[in-house]
Amino acid sequence: MDFDLNEQQEMFTKGVRDFARGEIAPRCAKMDAAGIIDPELLDMVRDHGFFGLCFPETYGGLGLDTVTYGRVVAELARVDAGVAIMVSVHNGVGSFPILQFGSEELRREVLPRMSKGELASFCVTEPGAGSDAASMTTRAERTETGYRLSGEKIWVTNGYHAQFFVVTARLDNEPGHDGISAFLVDRDTPGLMVGAKEDKMGLRSSDAVSLVLENVDVPGARRLGEEGDGFKIAMSALDGGRIGVAYQSVGLAQACLDVGARYAIEREQFGKPIATKQAIQWMLADLATELEQARLLADKAAWLKDQGRSYGREAAMAKLAASEMAGRAADRALQIHGGYGYSKDYDIERYYRDARVLRIYEGTSEIQRLVIARSVLSEYGG
């Protein structure tokens, strides 16, 4: 594995960095206060091809490898983690199930539209089914033309703007994993109702909504995979999604290091910059070291995915390590800022709020530890 990006990857990443600093950064505070992405910025994100990053060129996308895609997500998160997760969910869990499990006819119908910016979302979590996804109660009943879905999903990222919803539902009331199937549902399907945006603590430029399905008829051609494949499809999508969250965490932590180091150099106490104090230096040293560790784990998981090798365990490790690290990074950077860090006048206040959810979505830290432990124990016959 090469630890350096090639020239093409470097150029692409630099372009994203320049875009993020020039177009996203000036809007961050207003988007955070309003709790929604700037419509003009959303159009820019579409026009720059960010919604087709991982889509094959056959379907109108840029066809980026996973490492480059991850670095793009990190550069976006370095400025606004909410914009980063919007892009990551669309390119990952929102579209991956169609690309991997949809028919070729379905792929040719919807993926070019998605790559041009018709947003996709991923609907698994329910009021009574979070980490225990297998306990979902959303129902699918067979009809003459396909299926009829009824139920409720919550925390649907991108749902406010989305045109497409990947929905998991239980067929035949069959218990456990085997009873779950997956479907692609269009926004304008009768019976599908998008709820109000959640008023979130952080990631406020990214929307999350509830989704109610009341006798929503879905053609049979919109089923993804075979009947009963829904849980497998969801878990496969989440493996890739965790790589995206790992890079999002890396980008956010890099932002914390940026502002923490700069503030330490500028801020004087006792007649000297606080950067001369060993206590501050150690915080920055630990932050930088843990950030590099997390970046390497994310790169390894992404590289394995690009090689067509198994990467579920590594994705869980990367997501666990990076998300936990980002929380510590935000805490240290805010501590360096002292009381000023608690003020909305400084970006670290937003970073601190944004970092908290990283340990929850795409599988909590506790779930990641279970995934990793089961993989480790299986090597010893457990």
Q: Is residue 158 part of a domain?
A: yes
Enumerate the active-site residues.
362
Q: Is residue 287 part of a domain?
A: yes
pLDDT at residue 173 tops 80: no
Per-residue confidence band for 1, with pLDDT thresholds at 50, 70 and 90? low
pTM of the model: 0.96
**213 and 238 share a domain?**
no
The last residue of a domain, from among 195, 228, 261: 228
**104 and 164 share a domain?**
no
The last residue of a domain, from among 50, 82, 115: 115
Per-residue confidence band for 28, with pLDDT thresholds at 50, 70 and 90? very high
Please say whether the dihedral angle defined by the alpha carbons of residues 115, 22, 361 and 12, taken in this order, is positive or negative: positive
Nearest alpha carbon to residue 292 among 264, 331, 253: 253
**51 and 185 share a domain?**
no
Give residue 220's domain range.
Answer: 120-228
| CA–CA distance, 78 with 13 (Å, rounded to integer) | 12
| CA–CA distance, 36 with 158 (Å, rounded to integer) | 11
**72 and 30 share a domain?**
yes
Mean pLDDT of all residues in the chain? 96
pLDDT at residue 322 tops 80: yes
| CA–CA distance, 237 with 239 (Å, rounded to integer) | 5
Q: Is residue 1 part of a domain?
A: no
**80 and 12 share a domain?**
yes
| CA–CA distance, 10 with 152 (Å, rounded to integer) | 43
Number of domains in the chain: 3
Q: Is residue 382 part of a domain?
A: no
Q: In this predicted structure, what is the pLDDT of residue 112?
A: 97
Report the CATH number at residue 181. 2.40.110.10
Report the CATH number at residue 303. 1.20.140.10
